[in-house]
Amino acid sequence: MAPTKQSTKKPTTKRPRKVAKRAAAKATKRVATTRTASRARKTSPPVKRPASGSARDAIAVLKQDHREVEQLFKRFEKAGESAYRTKGQLVASMIEALSRHAAIEELVFYPAVRQEIPRLQSQVAEALEEHHLAKVVLKELEDLDPKSPRYDAKVTVMMEVVRHHVREEERDLFPKVRDRIGRRELLELGDALRRAKPRVPTRPHPDAPDMPPANLLVGSAVAVIDRARTAGKRAVEKARDELPTL
């Protein structure tokens, strides 16, 4: 009789029920986590990262000034009709911000544009005239009582002049400058604008020269006087605020 062949298959080891359940639970959790992460990637907006150096060049510096001044304009427009003190404080901030902004453009940015892009001479000249108009109204506002019937009207005219100036620069002048002046030079101009800002006049001087070298010589001396006057005015206002109300 032939010997009986034994089976070569190994007996199947049954996995304990608890171990199987734990393995299934882990697998389900991994699938759920993967699906959640996938949905998050699809629905979350992409993170915008600023271009390297873009926040430091000359055009970015000037645009940031524009945005800050526009915020002051909007706050003035929202102020109540009889909010005289608030309006006066906002206009004082406008005067300083616009005076500094105009000065650094006239001292640093416009001369570079005239030198590098001669065909923009007439456009720069127009921008300087718009500066002059704004300075004239700012000079009148500087000593005008916010309760004056002409106060709001003058502020409105000044804001219209500045907004027109900003639109022309950002839509026309700045793109032309960015196309013709290299990135490295724009970064250097941005540094020069920031360095100049603390040293320029803080008040409007419509009769002062607005082109170099005269504006550099006059502006440096005037800026010292402006800062002294501004500091004195703030000290007086602080002392007045601290006086007890009778």
Q: pLDDT by residue (tens digit) across 122-177?
A: 999 999 999 999 999 999 999 999 999 999 999 999 999 999 999 999 999 999 99
Q: What is the model's pLDDT at position 51?
A: 43
Q: What is the model's pLDDT at position 113?
A: 97
Is 93 within the bounds of a domain? yes
Q: How confident is the model at residue 100 (pLDDT cuts 50, 70, 90)?
A: very high
Is 53 within the bounds of a domain? no
Q: With contact defined as beta carbons under 8 Å apart, do 158 and 228 qualify? A: no
* Residue 211 pLDDT > 70: yes
Q: Is 53 left (phi over 0), alpha (psi -120 to 50) or beta?
A: left
* Residue 182 pLDDT > 60: yes
Q: Which residues contact 128 (CB under 8 A, 6 or more apart)?
A: 106, 110, 210, 211
Q: How confident is the model at residue 45 (pLDDT cuts 50, 70, 90)?
A: very low
Which of 206, 230, 233 minimizes the C-alpha distance to 218? Answer: 206
Q: What is the mean pLDDT of residues 94-100?
A: 97
* Residue 8 pLDDT > 90: no
AA identity, residue 165: H
What domain count does the chain have?
A: 1
> Is the dihedral angle over the CA atoms 225, 68, 72, 138 positive or is it negative?
positive
Both tokens assigned to 21: 């359940």
CA distance 24 to 27: 5
Is 136 within the bounds of a domain? yes
Size of the chain in residues: 246
Is 5 within the bounds of a domain? no
CA distance 220 to 138: 20
CA distance 244 to 246: 6
Is 233 within the bounds of a domain? yes
Reduced to 3 states, what is the DSSP secondary structure of residue 68? helix
Q: What is the mean pLDDT of residues 182-195?
A: 96
**What are the φ/ψ torsions at residue 8 (nearest 5 degrees)?**
-90, -5
Is 162 within the bounds of a domain? yes
CA distance 119 to 184: 21
Q: How confident is the model at residue 207 (pLDDT cuts 50, 70, 90)?
A: confident
| Domain extent at residue 161 | 58-242
CA distance 168 to 175: 10
**What are the φ/ψ torsions at residue 5 (nearest 5 degrees)?**
-75, 130
Q: How confident is the model at residue 214 (pLDDT cuts 50, 70, 90)?
A: confident
Is 28 within the bounds of a domain? no
* CATH of residue 203: 1.20.120
- Higher-confidence residue of 189 and 230: namely 189
Q: What is the dihedral of CA 138, 144, 150, 151, to 10 degrees?
A: 70
Is 40 within the bounds of a domain? no
* Residue 20 pLDDT > 80: no
